[in-house]
Amino acid sequence: MNEPHDSTEFDIDEGFGARLTIDLQALVDNWRKMRALSSPARCAAVIKADGYGLGAEPVATSLYGAGCRDFFVATAREGAFVRQHAPDARIYVMNCILPGIEETCRVAELVPVLASMEHVALWTQACIANGEHPCALQVDTGMNRLGLSTGEAMALADDVTRPQGFSPVLIMSHLACADEPEHPLNGQQLEAFQNVVAAFDGIEASLCNSAGVMLGGDYLFDLARPGIALFGGAVGDHVRPVTQPVVTAEARIITVREAKHGETVSYGGTMTLRRDSRIAVCSIGYADGYMRSLSGTGVTLRGHHPEGGHGFAHGQKLPILGRVTMDMTAFDITDLADGSLKSGDFIELFGPNVALDDVAATAGTIGYELLTLLGRRYRRHYLPARTDG
């Protein structure tokens, strides 16, 4: 897991070529915003994949301090780590691949999400052997990824011989197309889930992810579980105004060089300069999660962004020149005043001036992937959340 740095200053002697500024107050504010939108349901926080790449410890600690008491993670190992920072929260493990993690779930007081009849049988046997322990039951309502079929779930609900050791505290499903509000599958999944929830009378239910919260109304049930929206990412155009950026990524300039009209830049010579240029070569590349598909040229599968990505400094966009490489990326700073950027200065990759999801779209992906690809070579600086609520 990534650990926060105690220093409030950036130390240029530490050898980091790039830095992340992570605003934990913005994270908390985003959760509170989603909590308000989820009302009257409670609002959980999905913090899998090391807190979406930002560090599970500071993320969990900040959200727990703000009042969040329901967390979702992917693996039991993630859950056991989060438990250290959320002592009395309910922590659900969504990728509960049994057998093998029963003891971890018991020791760390995690709630496994059972996603097949095999899981149900294994967990029931574990409860018979070791005593009751809460679980959640996932039902597939149309995504065909994890979950009992609706028929299996209904049969289980009606099974009078169901062992006493099987005592789910949550029935959940997952929306496949919530980021497309008009998609007919949303309504189909809602209807199927409502039927299952009615069969498990008295047990809490959860259907909404970040985009599902925006559908509102009948989709909310008892517990919403936003993820990407907490971290400032969009899950569709209708969500963009809701949450604020949490992370700013910046790359340090290694050197500023001059190149002549007609010369080429980076591998393959795919970028030919159309003017005399000044180039800032930065310590950032695809080894840091700054994807090769952001390259200014030389990428055949780009989609709708043939011009490639850009950075930002001194109020201007700075186009990427040529291909992004493993450790270095070149930015065009010709239009900035001479001397405005020099070796050791930083260029913003995404943050308040370059939207995370715009960078993702240029790279042909989504904000989730950019965040979770953030590597170990960033100097991480955490702006603390307020303790006054």
pLDDT in tens, 130-150: 888 999 999 999 999 999 999
The domain segmentation of the chain, as residue ranges, is 24-231, 247-354
Which one is catalytic: 33, 48, 64, 219?
48
Mean pLDDT of all residues in 308-321 = 96
pLDDT at 7: 41
Asked if the domains 24-231 and 247-354 are classified in one and the same CATH topology, the answer is no
Tokens of 382: 């955490």
Tell me what pLDDT residue 298 has.
65
For the cut 60, the answer to whether the pLDDT of residue 237 exceeds it is no
Give me the chain's average pLDDT, please.
Answer: 91
Per-residue pLDDT for 373 more than 50? yes
Reply yes or no on whether 48 is catalytic.
yes
Sheet strands side by side (includes 204-206): 45-46, 70-73, 90-93, 110-114, 135-138, 168-172, 204-206
| 52, 64, 92, 267: the active-site residue | 267
pLDDT of residue 307: 73
Q: Rounded distance, CA 233 to CA 211, Å?
A: 11
Least confident of 125-134, 148-157, 251-260, 296-305: 296-305
Q: Assess whether pLDDT exceeds 60 at residue 278.
A: yes
pLDDT of the residue at 341: 97
Q: How far apart are CA 301 and CA 172, in angstroms?
A: 37
What's residue 2's pLDDT? 45
Inter-CA distances, 271 with 64, 262, 275, 297, 306, Å? 48, 9, 12, 6, 13
Query: Mean pLDDT, to the nearest integer, of 10-14?
Result: 53
Q: Could you read off the pLDDT of 34-69 as tens digits, one per residue?
A: 999 999 999 999 999 999 999 999 999 999 999 999
368 is catalytic: no
The answer to whether the pTM exceeds 0.85 is yes
% of the chain beyond a pLDDT of 70: 91
The predicted pLDDT at position 248 comes to 97
CATH number of the domain located at residue range(s) 24-231 in this protein? 3.20.20.10
Instruction: Assign domain 247-354 to its CATH superfamily.
Output: Lyase, Ornithine Decarboxylase; Chain A, domain 1 (2.40.37.10)
* CA gap 298, 344 in Å, rounded: 28
For the chain, how big is the Rg over CA atoms in Å? Answer: 24
Asked whether residue 13 carries a pLDDT value surpassing 80, the answer given is no
